[in-house]
Amino acid sequence: MNPALDVSSATEQVVPEHKLRCGPSRFDPGGGGVNVSRAIRNLGGNSIAICPLGGPTGQAYRGFLEQEGVLARVVGVAGNTRESFTVDELSTGDQFRFVLQGPTLREPEWRACLSVVGDVLPVGGYLVASGSLPPGVPDDFYALLARICGEHDVRIVVDASGPALEAALDQRVFLIKPSLRELAELVGAGDTLDEADQVEAARAIVAGGRAEIVALSLGGAGAMLATADGVLRLPTPRVEVQSTVGAGDAFLAGLVLRLAEGRTVAEAFRTAVAAGSATAMLEATGLCRAEDVARLEARLAAAPA
């Protein structure tokens, strides 16, 4: 619902009050849901990306979607699609990420997004609702989607935070992918959770019927996945990290794609962790490559439980 044209570049050093000369720029159609679609395509799957776009930035965004071969249903809006930009500081290896606010959507515009979803619902399949909600879109937007999915045998996957996630969970969803901080907020545990508390918190959400699966990506500390059948953990494969932008979206793409293909939860979880790490290997806002994911999956399969 809040796509962003991702702009990335690099400069020698980030300092205040100076013009910072950057190297070559890269442009990608970003935002949670679209990144999931892009990663699914890279892994050989098919999906439909749905997003509101407007203004000159939105027009450019459409062009980049077409270049990547992403099948999309676009809802035209009056506001100008936002940009986000990432700058790598070459002298230190630090990365600076600036996320701009999206345009304000009017009620007819966000309701049009609901209508498009209704037109292309993958009955028996999956709908991924991912990313922040722009101004003007109500906090219960993902909850409205969850209600629609519940009426049409569609499993909804929500990657959101705050009130939008809370409202969706009240409607019961198939899967959520909170960060560690977001999971702590959901269970009222303050800023963080230790390993035992992570398991307890995820199990409580599942046991309460709010989500069938809780997937928790922990960066370099690995990942955890909880279902009614138990808890799975996997380490993060050792890779040279170039950029973490989009790694969580790739994780989700690998997980949902494999589940849609009929793989077991354990198999899907392995692909998810590999896809997240394969994305972190790439510079700027690039997303996982299938050959890298396959290589990392094999490494995870050989790792001790």
Q: Looking at the annotation, which residues are catalytic?
A: 249
With contact defined as beta carbons under 8 Å apart, do 235 and 296 qualify? no
CA atoms within 13 A on the CB side of 11: 12
Distance separating alpha carbons of residues 294 and 72, to the nearest angstrom: 27
β strands within the chain, DSSP E? 4-11, 26-30, 49-53, 72-76, 82-89, 95-99, 126-130, 155-159, 173-176, 211-217, 223-227, 230-234
Partnered with residue 76 across adjacent β-strands are 53
Buried b (16+ CB within 10 A) or exposed e, 290-300: eebbeebbeeb
Q: What is the CA radius of gyration of the chain?
A: 19
11, two tokens: 């400069």
Closest CA to 2 of 96, 92, 90, 110: 110
Pairing mode, if any, of strands 173-176 and 155-159? Answer: parallel
Distance separating alpha carbons of residues 293 and 295, to the nearest angstrom: 5
The letter for the amino acid at 303 is A
DSSP 39: H
Distance separating alpha carbons of residues 244 and 286, to the nearest angstrom: 10
